[in-house]
Amino acid sequence: MDLLALPYLDELSHGLANLSMFPYFDMAHYIVSVMALREQPGALEVSRASPLACWFSSMLYCFGGAVLSGVMLAEPPVAPLSNGTGVLLASIVWYLIFYCPKDAVYSSAALLPLRLVLSGMKEVTRTWKVLGGVTQARQKYKDSLLVMIAIGWARGAGGGLISNFEQLVRGVWKPETNELLKMSYPTKITLIGAVLFTLQQTHYLPLQKHHLMLVYTVFIVVNKSRMMLTGSSSSPFAAIESVLYKTLFTGHSPYSALTGEVKEACIDNGDRKSAAKVNGSSRAKEESKRSDAKNSKKIN
């Protein structure tokens, strides 16, 4: 990273590190988060049936990371509420996104150019949150890399990690999936960030903090923009992940054999049910039950 020794880039990274998230970047984070909530299936109905549940869900989208990392460190999960200005801003955003006459705010913010800028700004806040989580954890657990990674991750990707419980507020319950079972791109990139910042903070990574902040921020902003513009959801790490996965987690032959069987059996829907029986797994059974339910619905 000798590139970072260039005077221009060094200055830029110092400038970035001293950037204040409040109010513009925070605002962009609130707007993008509340818009993501609004685009969940059923969210509009909830906003109409119970504005309070909708507001609470929005706050979990906006402050989920702070709530989750608070719980994990046994600090009051209500603490984000004590940040009056933040909650006020987020509440105004929530109101405008959901209830603005003629839906003016949502319609304009959903335009691609504006959304691109807002999403980019939201990504910038991620760097600050991950770093904040790592340093907060370090004050309590000086030498525990794992705790620092966990808290940095929770702070940066909290909204996703607690999504099961956020959905419950809106009366939705999808136990069959969560961010650990099937990580989304933001959760993954936040985990990588948490690892990098933890290594930097514990001096295992020979890089200065503001340099890492610049590199990480540029990477996530550029990558997010690329994904939005191309409409692709492919992770830039797919290749590495695949190699790592194949190297580490496929040594276990009996299961590979089992999976082979299942794959063969799963040629069509009818066979999937028999595979479920062979397999004996509850999840496969549930899946086949769901497909049964769909079939019977179609028939009805």
Residue 49 near its own copies by CB under 8 A: yes
Residues in CB range of 245: below 8 A, 6 or more apart = none
Question: Quick check: 264 binds its own copies (CB under 8 A)?
Answer: no
Asked if 203 and 197 count as a contact pair (C-beta separation under 8 A), the reply is no
Residue 46 CA to residue 166 CA, distance in Å, equals 13
Query: What does the block give as tokens for 103?
Result: 């839906």
Asked if residue 289 binds its own copies (CB under 8 A), the reply is yes
Q: Are 56 and 257 in contact (CB under 8 A)?
A: no
Q: Please report whether residue 113 would count as binding its own copies according to CB under 8 A.
A: no
What residues numbered 234-253 form the site for its own copies, per CB under 8 A?
A: 245, 248-253
Site for its own copies in 169-188 (CB under 8 A): 169-173, 175-178, 180-183
Q: Is 155 in the site for its own copies (CB under 8 A)?
A: no
Among 71, 192, 205, 266, binds its own copies (CB under 8 A): 71
102: contact with its own copies by CB under 8 A:
yes
36 binds its own copies (CB under 8 A): no
Binding of its own copies by 136 (CB under 8 A): no
Render 116-170 in DSSP notation, one character per residue.
HHHHHHHHHHHHHHHHHHHHHHHHH-TT-HHHHHHHHHHHHHHHHHTHHHHHHHT
* Residue with tokens 């004996």, as numbered in its chain: 280
82 contacts its own copies (rule: CB under 8 A): yes
User: Rounded to whole angstroms, how far apart are CA atoms 162 and 150?
Assistant: 14
Selected from 117, 204, 255, 271, the binder of its own copies by CB under 8 A is 255
> Which residue's CB is nearer to its own copies, number 48 or number 226?
48
**Number of chain positions touching its own copies (CB under 8 A):** 82
